């Protein structure tokens, strides 16, 4: 077998294309003057750069430009039949390249399909293959249809085998056609499997400088199919293909270095080739690098590789970038970047364009609440919630249910349909949907069922829904007698809600322990009352400070003048009018029990606070 490494040292090709033409300088970085080249030459050079043919190192951007020029040349009114034929071939392989994307360009399936139609009608196997991929995955406006996809693949297989055979007979072989023919023979799909013939074609294709065949030949050596298993030889061919820019070869080579299979184990080489694979358009490699960057808390790497994955069309990565820039994504308290609402919005929009249902739900909520600088727009929120719901997103289903239940965003109010959506959302893990179902059964109406409401609130609370926890606390607080509820359950839910941040629950417990509550068998307990008033204050309730001030100003062992004044001041400064009035009273008349001397200036200052004329207050 010819050694491809001997045919090309990486600085440029020197391999004949089958017609005797050589490409010594295609791999050079200088600009190619397309006006001096024929359509056929533009096509040959373009495919060489796009796919690594004739031993040329892949440069997809330059290759695409040359293929575009060849296609344009064929559209000239005075184009010859030869020019039109070359342009049609260029059109087919341009479609193939665009369907995969390149560098920072996402796959453009719409244009790829449009370009492939004409050469496919003429029997071009590359165009048929692209249309088969479009039908298999439902891309580019082509309906997903396995039978139609297989019909395209079968025609492509037959055309590739014919082109390979005819080329060998004429001595005018197409290295890429040989590669594709070998692929079909090796896989045994749509043609009878002949692995030995496949390997022979791979070898011949490699001799003509096809990097894709070098990669496939490497895989044959790894698998030990037809050729004797030889990881070292497999790694050698994969390296050669990777050096010529075949991204999937670079990805496989990175795994070999990670495992030490056929090569010496090396983390440095693993990530070197993984980066090459990602830059070459391998989504899995970009995702792996993004995950590694997260694990290592590498901010630059996180942004770089998630962006790369998103540019390659990965909707989840685009959505992840939205959460990263929004600032809601954290790892052990670490943020990859400073929050940036404009960037977050841009990436959420991109994720929605790519079909990411969770991002549609998040963006819908932003329109509903007027976040990210957006004007509130219920109609747009509903549109986005529908997209999310259609994608099976639990949050989107729940939010759409809320809009239906309220009759917002141009929707006619439909509580029954909302209930159906809430149940679907609950089944997909949306805990808030359980809370909404609890509300559905709690509200007045034909469906009112307090027991069912409590059951749903309990289920939602079991998944960590704080709103459900608070609802249970309020039900047990206010409806214990009417619904004949267990008093011990009431205390349990009130305590849970207060721990979870419900200020009303904390205040209710404080009042119950302050005054006692016969219904719940609660005896007055000053220490517990103080504890829960302090918790309510910590949760932002200004009146709790007033209650604490009163407690420390009462007769008894707990009296503490300094503490009473301190709490009254805190309450007044937080907006509690009663606390401010109490300070006015103290400083106007004095209070010997609390060691407060009359002070007209301070009394006037706190009077202004009580009247809402001086938000600062203070002494």
Q: 551-560, pLDDT tens digit by residue?
A: 998 867 778 8
- Give me the number of domains the chain comprises: 2
Using pLDDT thresholds of 50, 70 and 90, give the confidence band for residue 220: very high
Rounded to 10 degrees, the C-alpha dihedral 332/537/509/558 comes to 120
Indicate whether 43 pLDDT > 80: yes
Using pLDDT thresholds of 50, 70 and 90, give the confidence band for residue 122: very high
| pLDDT tens track for 569-615 | 999 999 999 999 989 998 998 888 778 889 999 889 999 988 886 65
Using pLDDT thresholds of 50, 70 and 90, give the confidence band for residue 333: low
- CA-based max dimension of the chain: 117
DSSP string of 455-506? HHHHHHHHTT-HHHHHHHHHHHHHSTTTTT--HHHHHHHHHHHHHTT-HHHH
Cα–chain center distance at 525: 52
Residue 115 located in a structural domain: yes
SS3 content of the chain, % helix, strand, coil (to 5): 70, 0, 30
Specify which residues 105 forms β-bridges with: 102
Rounded to 10 degrees, the C-alpha dihedral 220/221/223/229 comes to 140
Indicate whether 18 pLDDT > 70: no
How far apart CA 118 and CA 348 sit, in angstroms, is 36
Residue 12 located in a structural domain: yes
Indicate whether 110 pLDDT > 50: yes
* Per-residue pLDDT, 466: 85
How far apart CA 419 and CA 542 sit, in angstroms, is 38
| pLDDT tens track for 240-254 | 999 999 999 999 999
Mean pLDDT on 120-133: 98
How far apart CA 537 and CA 534 sit, in angstroms, is 5
pTM for this one? Answer: 0.75
| pLDDT tens track for 179-200 | 999 999 999 999 999 999 999 9
3-class DSSP state of 323 = helix
* Per-residue pLDDT, 494: 84
* Per-residue pLDDT, 218: 97
Mean pLDDT on 271-284: 95
Indicate whether 391 pLDDT > 80: yes
* Per-residue pLDDT, 104: 67
Sign of the CA dihedral 361, 362, 366, 369?
positive
Indicate whether 424 pLDDT > 60: yes
Residue 64 located in a structural domain: yes
How far apart CA 69 and CA 109 sit, in angstroms, is 20
Mean pLDDT on 499-513: 87
Q: Are 535 and 506 in contact (CB under 8 A)?
A: yes
* Per-residue pLDDT, 491: 82
Which of 166, 190, 209 corresponds to the end of one domain? 209
Which of 209, 224, 248 corresponds to the end of one domain? 209
* Per-residue pLDDT, 21: 40
Indicate whether 84 pLDDT > 70: yes
CA angle 113-252-296, nearest 5°?
100
Using pLDDT thresholds of 50, 70 and 90, give the confidence band for residue 482: confident
The 8-class DSSP code of residue 106 comes to P
Indicate whether 388 pLDDT > 90: yes
Residue 497 located in a structural domain: no
Residue 390 located in a structural domain: no
Residue 394 located in a structural domain: no
Q: What is the residue-averaged pLDDT of the chain?
A: 89
Region of residue 392 (phi > 0: left; psi between -120 and 50: alpha; otherwise: beta) = left
Indicate whether 522 pLDDT > 90: no
Residue 583 located in a structural domain: yes
Using pLDDT thresholds of 50, 70 and 90, give the confidence band for residue 2: very low
* Per-residue pLDDT, 619: 56
How far apart CA 89 and CA 100 sit, in angstroms, is 18
Least confident among 105-109, 297-301, 349-353, 476-480: 476-480
Sign of the CA dihedral 146, 149, 151, 154?
negative
Region of residue 370 (phi > 0: left; psi between -120 and 50: alpha; otherwise: beta) = left
Which tokens in the block code for residue 445?
Answer: 């109406």
Q: Calculate what percentage of the chain has a pLDDT beyond 90.
A: 70
Which of 209, 230, 250 corresponds to the end of one domain? 209
Residue 450 located in a structural domain: no
Query: Phi and psi at residue 331, in whole multiples of 5°?
Result: -130, 105
How far apart CA 194 and CA 501 sit, in angstroms, is 69
Using pLDDT thresholds of 50, 70 and 90, give the confidence band for residue 278: very high
Helices 81-100 and 109-121, axial angle in degrees (round to 10)? 140
DSSP string of 144-201? P-HHHHHHHHHHHHHHHHHHHHHHHHHT---HHHHHHHHHHHHHTSSS---HHHHHHH
Q: Containing domain of residue 22, as a range?
A: 4-209
């Amino acid at each position: 077998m010819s050694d491809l490494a001997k045919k090309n040292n990486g600085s440029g090709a020197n391999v004949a294309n089958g017609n005797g033409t050589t490409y010594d300088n295609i791999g050079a970085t200088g600009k190619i003057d397309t006006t001096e080249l024929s359509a056929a030459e533009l096509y040959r050079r373009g495919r060489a750069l796009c796919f690594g043919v004739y031993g040329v190192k892949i440069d997809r951007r330059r290759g695409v430009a040359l293929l575009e020029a060849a296609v344009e040349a064929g559209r000239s009114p005075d184009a010859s039949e030869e020019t039109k034929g070359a342009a049609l071939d260029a059109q087919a392989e341009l479609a193939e390249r665009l369907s995969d994307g390149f560098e920072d360009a996402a796959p453009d399936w719409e244009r790829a399909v449009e370009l492939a139609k004409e050469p496919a009608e003429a029997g071009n196997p590359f165009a048929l293959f692209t249309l088969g991929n479009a039908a298999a995955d439902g891309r580019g406006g082509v309906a997903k249809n396995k039978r139609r996809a297989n019909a395209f693949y079968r025609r492509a297989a037959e055309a590739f085998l014919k082109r390979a055979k005819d080329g060998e007979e004429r001595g005018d072989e197409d290295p890429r056609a040989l590669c594709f023919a070998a692929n079909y023979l090796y896989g045994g799909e749509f043609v009878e499997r002949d692995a030995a013939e496949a390997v022979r074609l791979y070898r011949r294709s490699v001799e003509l400088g096809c990097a894709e065949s070098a990669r496939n030949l490497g895989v044959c050596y790894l698998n030990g199919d037809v050729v004797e298993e030889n990881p070292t030889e497999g790694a050698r061919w994969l390296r050669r293909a990777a050096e010529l820019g075949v991204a999937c070869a670079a990805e496989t080579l990175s795994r070999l270095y990670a495992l030490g299979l056929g090569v010496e184990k090396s983390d440095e080489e693993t990530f070197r080739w993984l980066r090459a694979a990602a830059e070459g358009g391998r989504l899995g490699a970009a995702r792996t690098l993004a995950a590694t960057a997260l694990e290592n808390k590498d901010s630059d790497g996180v942004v770089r590789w998630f962006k790369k994955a998103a540019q390659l069309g990965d909707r989840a990565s685009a959505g992840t970038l939205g959460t990263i820039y929004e600032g809601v994504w954290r790892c052990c308290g670490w943020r990859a970047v400073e929050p940036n609402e404009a960037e977050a919005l841009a990436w959420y929009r991109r994720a929605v364009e790519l079909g990411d249902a969770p991002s549609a739900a998040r963006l819908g909520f932003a329109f509903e609440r007027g976040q990210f600088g957006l004007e509130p727009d219920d109609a747009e929120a509903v549109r986005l919630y529908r997209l999310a719901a259609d994608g099976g997103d639990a949050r989107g289903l729940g939010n759409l249910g809320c809009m239906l239940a309220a009759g917002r965003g141009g929707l006619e109010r439909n509580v029954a349909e909302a209930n159906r959506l809430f149940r679907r959302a609950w089944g997909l893990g949306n805990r808030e949907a359980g809370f909404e179902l609890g509300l559905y059964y709690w509200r007045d109406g034909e469906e009112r069922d307090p027991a069912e409401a409590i059951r749903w609130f309990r289920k939602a609370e079991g998944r960590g829904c704080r709103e459900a926890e608070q609802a249970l606390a309020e039900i047990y607080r206010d409806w214990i007698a009417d619904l004949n509820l267990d008093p011990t359950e009431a205390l349990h839910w009130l305590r849970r809600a207060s721990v979870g941040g419900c200020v009303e629950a904390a205040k209710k417990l404080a009042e119950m322990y302050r005054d006692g509550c016969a219904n719940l068998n609660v005896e007055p307990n000053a220490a517990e009352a103080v504890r829960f008033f302090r918790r309510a204050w910590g949760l932002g309730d200004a009146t709790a400070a007033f209650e604490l001030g009163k407690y420390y100003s009462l007769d008894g062992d707990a009296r503490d003048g300094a503490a009473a004044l301190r709490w009254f001041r805190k309450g007044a400064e937080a907006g509690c009018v009663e606390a401010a009035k109490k300070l006015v009273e103290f400083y106007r008349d004095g209070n010997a029990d609390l060691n407060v001397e009359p002070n007209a200036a301070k009394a006037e200052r706190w009077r202004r606070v009580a009247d809402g004329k001086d938000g600062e207050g203070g002494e």
